[in-house]
Amino acid sequence: MIIEPRMRGFICLTAHPKGCEQNVKNQIKYVQSKGHIEGAKKVLVIGASTGFGLASRITSAFGADAATIGVFFEKPPLEGKTASPGWYNSAAFENEAHKAGLYAKSVNGDAFSNDVKRQTLDLIKADLGQVDLVIYSLASPVRLHPVTGVLHRSVLKPIGQTFTNKTVDFHTGNVSEVSIEPCTDEDIANTIAVMGGEDWAMWMEALKSENLLAEGATTVAYSYIGPSLTEAVYRKGTIGRAKDHLEATAFTITDSLKSVGGQAYVSVNKALVTQASSAIPVIPLYISLLYKIMKEEGIHEGCIEQIQRLYQDRLYADKPVPTDEKGRIRIDDWEMREDVQAKVAKLWLEATTESLSAIGDLPGYKNDFLNLFGFEFEGVDYKADANEMVGISSID
């Protein structure tokens, strides 16, 4: 079977095993090119199969020689159906880690559940004893609450009033106006339940209560702020409320980790094309303009460049870890540079279907989007039969 991208709306239904493998190999090569990081040696990554979480797992393993346990929710391949990209990424990651003599095992299932937490704690207990870094990088539209049994669905909506602005269909390049109706109070509560800090705190509490956190253990979760252009739908919308909650939770977790001398951080990352961000209206147009400017300035980064810099220049640079006035690590510093934002704001006003190909980086957006599913990588023979039942070695 020759595997090609099959699009439906904001998602691609197929993924390419060889391309995902190439993606992982490219990220490993990048991390290795930046030299050794004196970082954590036993790392748990929750949300480890794609995006920032995958980049965190790769940076831990190939930057700091860490043993890693990755938790994620991915679909294995079925007869006549490809796996989800995170499955192929994780299979490739484990292969490369094992070849390099690094411990790597994975848990595939719902990280919000008691069962997956139990499995992960047991694995740490049996194989690593304790962990000294926990990366929390989940992006999910739903959470089945393990205590109440309620299924919460997150929404991406403005709060209080209808938001109208430009957006782009990145498949066609068509720029149009989109209006998003304001959310209900219930939507806010649900979005906080899914993307806020409660589950992060539950993980840390579970790890601590079973003595699985090493002295001085650190945990990091990822957040986003972004410009005023996207504020109504992002930072001041439902998802922003969840991020406020996540950021506040860092302080509660730090308090609860006092007994082990631990510390929780939120790192504010750059806007990037991931499966999660492609689904947010307005953001793809912002990203395509941002990419254009940041590439021109020579300061564009992908997930792996961001996380490698997070480790090398923030987490494992000279203590104390540099943070903003709200205690957050900022690796969105280049995105948020005043000159960069002024240029994006100007282009935003000019953006139309006709002008976008000249003023925005739609090809860069599309390329990154296809890359998420293992397509468009150099060095991969996409004409070859790729119908493989790829397994993840620690799972199968």
d(CA 40, CA 66): 7
Q: Which does 74 bind (CB under 5 to 8 A by kind): Na ion, ligand NAI, none?
A: ligand NAI
Q: Which is nearer to ligand NAI, 138 or 386 (CB)?
A: 138
CA distances from 274 to 222, 227, 270, 302 (A): 14, 18, 11, 10
- List Cβ neighbours of 223 (8 Å cut-off, separation of 6 or more): 243, 246, 247, 266, 267, 268, 269, 328
> Whole-number minimum distance, CB 384 to ligand NAI, in Å?
27
Q: Is 137 in the site for Na ion (CB under 5 A)?
A: yes
Q: Is 70 in the site for Na ion (CB under 5 A)?
A: no
Q: Which is nearer to Na ion, 52 or 170 (CB)?
A: 52
Residue list for the binding site for NAD(+): 47-52, 73-74, 110-111, 138-139, 243, 272-274
Report whether 315 contacts 218 (CB < 8 A): yes
Q: Which does 200 bind (CB under 5 to 8 A by kind): ligand NAI, Na ion, none?
A: none
CA dihedral 307, 309, 312, 315 (to 10 degrees): -60
Residue 275: closest CA among 135, 373, 363, 157: 373
Q: Is 52 in the site for Na ion (CB under 5 A)?
A: yes
User: Considering CB under 5 A, how many residues would be counted as binding Na ion?
Assistant: 5
Q: Is 200 in the site for Na ion (CB under 5 A)?
A: no
Q: Which does 374 bind (CB under 5 to 8 A by kind): Na ion, ligand NAI, none?
A: none
The residue from 234, 291, 311, 365 that is catalytic is 234
109 in helix, strand or coil?
A: coil
End-to-end CA distance of the chain: 23
d(CA 298, CA 334): 10
Residue nearest to ligand NAI (CB): 51
Report whether 87 contacts 19 (CB < 8 A): no
d(CA 271, CA 368): 12
Annotated active-site residue 265? The verdict is no
> Whole-number minimum distance, CB 283 to ligand NAI, in Å?
7
Q: Which is nearer to Na ion, 105 or 292 (CB)?
A: 105
Q: Which does 39 bind (CB under 5 to 8 A by kind): Na ion, ligand NAI, none?
A: none
> Whole-number minimum distance, CB 215 to ligand NAI, in Å?
27
Q: Which is nearer to ligand NAI, 163 or 291 (CB)?
A: 291
> Whole-number minimum distance, CB 111 to ligand NAI, in Å?
3
Residue 168: closest CA among 337, 347, 373: 347
Query: Which residue type is seen at 287?
Result: I
Query: Which residue type is seen at 186?
Result: E
Binding site for ligand NAI (CB under 6 A): 47-53, 71-74, 86, 110-112, 137-140, 222-224, 269, 271-272, 274-277
By CB under 5 A, name the one of 53, 240, 281, 360 that touches Na ion. Answer: 53
> Whole-number minimum distance, CB 119 to ligand NAI, in Å?
12
Report whether 392 contacts 35 (CB < 8 A): no
Q: Which does 168 bind (CB under 5 to 8 A by kind): ligand NAI, Na ion, none?
A: none
Q: Residue numbers of the site for Na ion (CB under 5 A)?
A: 47, 51-53, 137
Residues assigned a catalytic role: 234
